[in-house]
């Protein structure tokens, strides 16, 4: 059980580690990796439901899609050309080495499925990862941060499912606080 406790503390680092790409964009206090992963899981479940996939599985895959960043950090895109990192499956194998076999297998299978991109749930999850980045860029733009268009454009171009593309189109036509105005208006 101590190995599981260790993993829980290690995963807790994702609450403190920031998404570094936003630092490059000039955001002083960007979202944490954990915040990104949470909304990514929610988005994945929605996309999966719209695509006829298993929403629970898609969300589950996204809970662990960046868990390796406890060890390798969140590397901004501009830095990746200069660094060589092991595959996420290898990092996960190291993270789960001392866990009970049933837990290690569950985590390794989830990360492997996400990285293989072959299941519809993994495809929905990968689209959710990009869509979450797009949403965050729109929110930062609405808060007055400039230089967000490259993140919006790269996220849009990476989407594959029809549902994610339709959702992105709607997001780009919606202000980040429109939901609040609708609630206040009693609609």
DSSP string, the chain: -HHHHHHHHHHHHHHHSB-HHHHHTT-SSPPBHHHHHHHHHHHHHHHHHHHTS-HHHHHHHHHTTTTTHHHH----GGGGGG-----HHHHHHHHHTTS-HHHHHHHHHHHHHHHH--SHHHHHHHHHHHHHHHHHHHHHHHTT----HHHHHHHHHH--SHHHHHHHHHHHTS-TTHHHHHHHTT-
pLDDT at residue number 176 = 94
**Sequential pLDDT tens for the chain (187 residues):** 999 999 999 999 999 999 999 999 999 999 999 999 999 999 999 999 999 999 999 999 999 999 999 999 999 988 989 999 999 999 999 999 999 999 999 999 999 999 999 999 999 999 999 999 999 999 999 999 999 999 999 999 999 999 999 999 999 999 999 999 999 999 7
What is the reported pTM?
Answer: 0.95
pLDDT at residue number 77 = 86
Domain residue limits at 161: 2-184
Name the domain count of the chain: 1
The CATH number for 29's domain is 1.10.3210.10
């Amino acid at each position: 059980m101590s190995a599981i406790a260790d993993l829980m503390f290690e995963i807790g680092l994702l609450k403190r580690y920031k998404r570094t790409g936003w630092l490059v964009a000039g955001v002083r206090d960007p979202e944490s990796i954990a915040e990104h992963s949470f909304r990514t899981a929610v988005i994945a479940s929605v996309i999966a439901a719209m695509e006829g996939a298993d929403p629970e599985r898609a969300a589950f895959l996204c809970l662990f899609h960046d868990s390796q960043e406890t060890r390798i950090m969140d590397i901004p895109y501009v830095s990746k050309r200069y660094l060589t990192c092991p595959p996420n499956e290898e990092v996960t194998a190291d993270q789960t080495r001392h866990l009970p076999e049933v837990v290690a297998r569950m985590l390794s299978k989830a990360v492997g499925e996400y990285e293989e991109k072959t299941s519809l749930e993994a495809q929905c999850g990968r689209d959710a990862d990009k869509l979450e980045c797009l949403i965050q860029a729109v929110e930062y733009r609405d808060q007055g941060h400039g230089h967000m268009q490259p993140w919006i454009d790269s996220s849009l171009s990476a989407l594959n499912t029809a549902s994610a593309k339709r959702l992105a189109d709607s997001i780009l036509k919606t202000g980040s606080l429109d939901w609040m105005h609708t609630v206040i208006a009693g609609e």
